[in-house]
Chain A
Amino acid sequence: MNLLQKRLLSQSPILLAMAGVLIIFALLPFFIPRWGIFLLTVAWAKAILVLGIVFLLWGGLVSFGHGLYFAAGAYAAGFGVRVLGIHEGLVLVALGIAAGGGLACLVGLLLARYRGIFFALLNMAFSMVLYAILLKFYRVTGGTDGISISPPTLAGFMPPPEALRLVHYYFTLGLGILSLYGANRFSVSPLGYTLKAIRNNEVRVEYMGASVRKAIYITYILSGILGGLSGVLTAFAIGHVVPEYSYWTQSAEFVFVAILGGTGSTFAPLAGSIVFEFVRNYAFKLSPYTWQLSLGTVLLLIILFLPGGLWSLSKPFSRRWTKWTLHSNR
């Protein structure tokens, strides 16, 4: 057996699961109504950012301000269309990633020094600064009206209006699957393990010769990149960007989804995000004024009684899955 085969074999449970997810979600649009496709697109797009939040959670860091990168990506796409006149989706995606990643490079320089509450609330402060900027410089940013984004071409191809939603869905699904796979590789990379070790004991990690600050800085940039990507994809799906993307409630939602899904697996953010979008859709219908109340209550219950999130409910099942895939390969 050569090296490549061995590596593929060691990855087989995750590759199989990946393929399963891809097939299920690729076929799903044929079984659900049109509005469901839209919700799924948004759920996938936001799950990408939540992956970044989960990375940080592995290192014991909570960010109450990742709406910053979400808004940076979304507005990068908005300005790309309005100011630069770019109408190619792939270029806009690159622009959003650059905006999120670039901003994270700068902000991360300061924030990689902080832990715990300082990290959480300084993030929140930065996102509120961006919110204030987006709101106040309304000549450039459109203020509370935001910027509307006309549907971009994808790789030079302009989707017909009646299939627009479906094309956006598959575009988001493709990039989402890529991010999910990347996140999975990250979780078993040396950096991923360093992060988990940092959460357990930062000083010991330093004694072993790893740079904690560098690990956190790189992770922070990754989370910014994912945030930018997520912002662009959401902007495409909704067709409009508003300053609220950078408001603290938006960031709170991301943290909420991360905790709801759990940090036990890279698939958990996706599960959390989908449950969240659909539940929100119904909760808004039932009682629009108590939305935050229900959010807070569920968050409270999860923290107190289900620390592993929704994903921990599937633990007995996933253990069997790993065993089964390993056996069938032997």
Chain B
Amino acid sequence: MKILTIIFVDGIVFASWLFLVSVGLTFIYGVLRILNVAHGSLYALGGYMGASMVLYYLQTGATPYLTYFVLLGAALFIGIVAGSLIETIFLRRVYHREEEVQLLLTFSLFLILEDVIKLVWGVSPYFADKPYALLGQMRLGGIIYAQYVFLLPGIALASGAIIWGIINRTRFGKIIISVTTDREICTSLGVNVPRVRTFAFIIGAILATLGGAFTAPMTALVPGIGVEVIVLAFAVVAIGGMGSVGGAVLGSLLVGLARAAAIHLFPELDLFTIYLVMSLVLLFRPQGLFGEVEVRRI
């Protein structure tokens, strides 16, 4: 019974993290029909930016309790800057090109950003664990948990709710949906489609940097975290269905719980569970759980 509780708690925490890193990917795909391979780099950028901002802020000697807002600010800043640059300079040129060209473009951005991160922040591990240590620990079912990890489900819920709200409850959300459905009609009705796309990409980018920034205090930042993230996030998104936010929720819960179970019951199988879940889902539903079947054009 105890082990079940632990698996459940670990699974939920991991699932929240997965949701944070994958919801931006699926959102961008949903609106722009581009799989952003550089999403992992945006995550890494958010992490490094958050960590260095926190360290800089703590040097000034101000109260450490505001570091959470520093993390938030860093994520917003780098998300907006990187997101708008990537969309307006590069992605805009390939919307009309073939899918594989779009893939290769974001892939080359990924290569470039990986090295840019190394150039700016160096290759040695980066620590900024003040926000993590600040919250202290608690006992849950005989196991000591850092309370910080319970911040993740909260952030995941909040960003999920905000995304849902933007899409379903605002004018901008309605415009996004119509641009996704029919770009030409939207243009003729006077919607500034390029601008909508830029904003949508920025929202997705901010979600990635948020995930990175709030994970940064929990782990050491090392080069190469970007690729881990894009592979995991893709697995989650593929399970849930490309472009579906609800699918991302379900996908991250499935993967999160499965992986937590594997870690506690069969530790060697850790990585394989994710691909196992993915292969099983894709075998029976190639478009993912919530994905729409693509209409093939003749």
Give chain A's interface residues, CB within 8 Å of chain B.
57, 60-62, 64, 110, 113-114, 116-118, 120-122, 124-126, 128-129, 132, 136, 201-204, 207, 248, 252, 255, 259, 289-293, 295-297, 299-300, 303-304, 307
Contact = CB atoms under 8 A, between A and B. Distances in A.
Interface in B118-140: 118-119, 123
Contacts of B279: 110
B271 to A, nearest CB: 5
Given A113-B286, A116-B100, A296-B110, A290 B115 contact: yes
Given A114-B286, A117-B99, A136-B268, A292 B104 contact: no
Among A64, A290, A300, residue most surrounded by chain B Cβ atoms (within 10 Å): A300
23 contacts: A60-B98, A117-B103, A121-B234, A121-B238, A122-B282, A132-B272, A136-B268, A204-B298, A207-B298, A248-B227, A255-B104, A255-B107, A289-B123, A290-B119, A292-B114, A293-B119, A295-B108, A296-B108, A297-B112, A299-B107, A299-B108, A299-B111, A304-B94
B212 to A, nearest CB: 19
Contacts of B111: 252, 292-293, 295-296, 299
A203 B272 contact: no
A62 B37 CA distance: 13
B116 A116 contact: no
A62 B100 contact: yes
Given A129-B275, A252-B107, A255-B104, A293 B112 contact: yes
Contact of B119 (A248, A289, A300): A289
A289 B115 contact: yes
A320 B203 CA distance: 52
A73 B227 CA distance: 24
Given A60-B100, A121-B234, A304-B94, 12 more contacts: A57-B100, A62-B100, A62-B104, A118-B286, A121-B231, A124-B231, A125-B275, A203-B296, A203-B297, A292-B111, A296-B112, A299-B111
Contact of B93 (A129, A202, A289, A304): A304
Given A129-B272, A291-B115, A118 B105 contact: no
Contact of B298 (A203, A292, A300): A203
B167 interface: no
A168 B92 CA distance: 47
Given A62-B103, A259-B104, A299-B108, A201 B298 contact: yes
Contact of A202 (B103, B109, B242, B296): B296
Contact of B105 (A57, A117, A203, A300): A300
A80 B93 CA distance: 49
B107 A64 contact: yes
A211 to B, nearest CB: 15
A303 B298 contact: no
Contacts of B286: 113-114, 118
A129 B271 contact: yes
Contacts of B100: 57, 60-62, 116, 120
Contacts of A248: 227, 231
B161 interface: no
Contact of B103 (A114, A116, A128, A291): A116
A162 B278 CA distance: 51
Nearest to A113: B286
Nearest to A295: B111
B35 interface: yes
B101 interface: yes
Contacts of A291: 115
B189 to A, nearest CB: 30
B294 to A, nearest CB: 9
Contacts of A259: 104
